[in-house]
Each structure stands twice: as structure tokens, then as C-alpha cells.
Amino acid sequence: MMSLSRTMLLATLVCLMPGIAGAQSVAQMLQDMNSAYTNHSYDGVFSYYTGGELASLRVVHKQVDGVQRERLVHLNGAPREIIRRGEVVSCIVMPGDDLIALEKSIPAGPFARAFVRQFDQIPDIYTVGTFGEGRAAGRTAVRVAISPKDQDRYGYRIWIDKETSLLLRSELIDHRGQKLEIFMFNQLLVGDDVEDSALEPEGVSGGMVSHLTLQATDEPWQPPATAGSAQSMPSAWSTHWLPTGFAMTDSHMRHKPGSVSQVSSLMFSDGLAAFSIYVEPMPKAGAASMLSQNGATVAVTHQIEEQGQYFLVTLVGEIPVETARNIVTTVHQKKG
């Protein structure tokens, strides 16, 4: 049957194309895409599909008097806006919104706007290649596929605007080809036509504002005060196993808001995917081992015992469930 050979031919072509495109040029395209985020002014509406839900958002970005400004507006459901002016991020939400529960100040690394942060690592753990041209938001785009070489992370298909290098569409795909998240511009205005006024919040009546600050510096990892104190906690945590290419990018110990209990948090990234591990003393009321998933984000809670003390370990990240389980069960206290 003709259809068979046709499909097989296509399969062969797809397998060969990444080799033809060359990893170097694709890496350059991704670099350009990152800088396009900050270098261009744009005002667009995009769809975001995750966890079985579809949302519409408007994003406006412009540099005004040397300050990066951005506005993200949730167009359906309860009003939500995220406004960013330089390093200050404000969330405007309605009373009762969960985002109010955010911590007031979130430590952050150096200011970096990135889709991919460690390009040099990418070819080791992902296969990258271009797949011709496509269209998104009425613009011509170059299609790029980023496929993991193992099953411990997800793949991406992205559409990069040919003219401006802006990301027009991206899909997060599991190893079976199912789309877990889709981000897609429906309409996009790029360039000087973007108005300053589009950056101003709409001022929804009854809305409340919560500020977050992007801090250039952060308090470094602090071991707990003194050994033997009432709140003594193991100084550091580690994992016996990590998927290839993942490295720790961040570690903190913080108090839970409104509580004296301390939570250690570790963040790991392979340059594209990321997950966090939280370790806290087992609450007196106990806690269940559980797993929940929302789109590509998975959360696994697991209980461990170290030197007669029980701890609750929770992994949250955009990685496959099996991988998350495999990692969380190897969390242990560092010796020494």
C-alpha cells in the first residue's frame, strides 16, 4: 500500500533531519530566541494549555527608559495580572486568590531571561534539530524539536519567529508523544507600535496587590544555628541518584511563613527541565505519602528516616512521574 511507504519515508526523513540541521546552528537560534525576549517590544495574546485547562493571556513587553517592563494578564477566569518593572514583580489578584499566599520576597539568582540556560549541555542530553518552517500567529516560523535522549525528562517542539526570533509556540511532550503543555501566540504585535500605555494595569476594582522582589543577591546557604538547639536540623541533603545532566542550581533553608519549622529546598536543572526537593521535619500530625500531577508538573511526597528522626521529602518538578519517584526515594542526609 502506498500509504505505508509514504509514512515510512516521512519517518526516515524526520530521523535524518536533525543531523542535517546541525546542533550548532540550532543552539544559536535558541540563543537568539532568549535575547529576543528582552530586545523586542511586543504585545500579544497567547493560549496556554496545561493540566486539562486552556487559558488565554495577554503579554506586553517593552523597555522604557532603560527599564525592562512587562505585563501579563489572565484573560479568562478571575482577574489576575503580573506586572514587572525592572526587578519588582507585582501580582494583582482578587481577594481569596491563592497567589496571595506567596512569600513576600523570593530569593533569585542573577537576572536572566532564558528558555535554555546551559546551551553547552544540551547536545549531551537532548537531540536538537530543525523541522522546516511553519506558521504561528500568522507569522512564518522555524520549527525546532528538542528531544531527550532518555526518558527522564520531557521534550519540546518550538516555533521560532523567522523575523524576530521570538518564541511563537512551544509544546512540552512526553516520551509517548503526548502534549502536556502548549503555549501558542494567537496574535502578536512586534516593534515600535507597542504602546507604553499597554503596560499599565487595568485597575480592577477590589483587586489587591502583592509585591515580589527579584533580588540580585541572596543569603547563601546557612547551616542551622547551633547543633543541639531545639530546632536543629541536618545541615544538608543530597540524592543518591540524579538523571544525567541534572545539577543543583540553588539551595536554601527557610522558615515556613507563620511557623518556626524550617524547610530545606534544593533546586536542580539540566538547563531546560527543573525540579525542586523540599525536606521538612515530619509534622506532629503526620503526613501521607502522595502524588499529584497538574499538566507537566508533578509533586511526590515521601517519608524518610534519618538518625531516628522522620522527615517529609517532597519533589516538585516538570519531569516524568517515574523519574520523580526514583529521585525522591534516594534523598538522604549528607554525611559529615
Partner 1 sequence: MTEQLRESLSAAMDDEADAFELRRVLDEARQDSDLREQWYRFALVRDVIREDMQNYQPGLRESIWQALNETGDPDADATQPLRDVSVDPQKNQRSPWIGRLTGTAVAAVVAVLVMANGGVFDSEVEPAADYAGVQPSLRSSDLAPVMYQQATALDQQRQQALMLHHIQQRAMNEASLASFVKVATFRSAPTPAPAELNTGQSPSQQ
CA pseudo-torsion sign 113, 82, 297, 313? positive
Beta carbon of residue 127, minimum distance to partner 1 (angstroms, whole number): 13
The secondary element (H helix, E strand) that includes residue 273 is none
94 binds partner 1 (CB under 8 A): yes
Could you say which residues in the range 242-301 bind partner 1, by CB under 8 A? 249-250, 256-261, 265, 267, 274-276, 278, 283-285, 287-294, 297, 299, 301
Q: Between 112 and 335, name the residue whose CB sits nearer to partner 1.
A: 112
| Residue whose grid cell is 521560532 | 160
Residue 112: CB partners within 8 Å, gap ≥ 6? none
Q: Which of 183, 237, 246, 268 binds partner 1 (CB under 8 A)?
A: 183
Question: Would you give the distance in Å from CA 250 to the centre of its chain?
Answer: 14
Closest contact distance (angstroms) between CB of 336 and partner 1 is 28
Number of residues that bind partner 1 (CB under 8 A): 99
Does 20 help bind partner 1 (rule: CB under 8 A)? no
- Buried/exposed code over 249-268 (b: 16+ C-beta within 10 A; e: otherwise): bbbbbeeeeeeeebbbbbbb
With H, G, I as helix, E, B as strand and everything else as coil, classify residue 23. helix
Closer to partner 1 by Cβ: residue 78 or 225: 78
Residue 17: burial class (beta carbons within 10 Å; 0-12, 13-18, 19+): middle
Q: Of 163-182, which residues contact partner 1 (CB under 8 A)?
A: 167, 170, 173, 176-180, 182
Using rule CB under 8 A, residue 67 touches partner 1: no
Report the C-alpha gap between 235 and 336 in whole angstroms: 9
Quick one: 284 or 335, whose CB is closer to partner 1? 284
Residue 138 binding partner 1, by CB under 8 A: no
Residue from 121, 157, 246, 264 touching partner 1 (CB under 8 A): that is 157
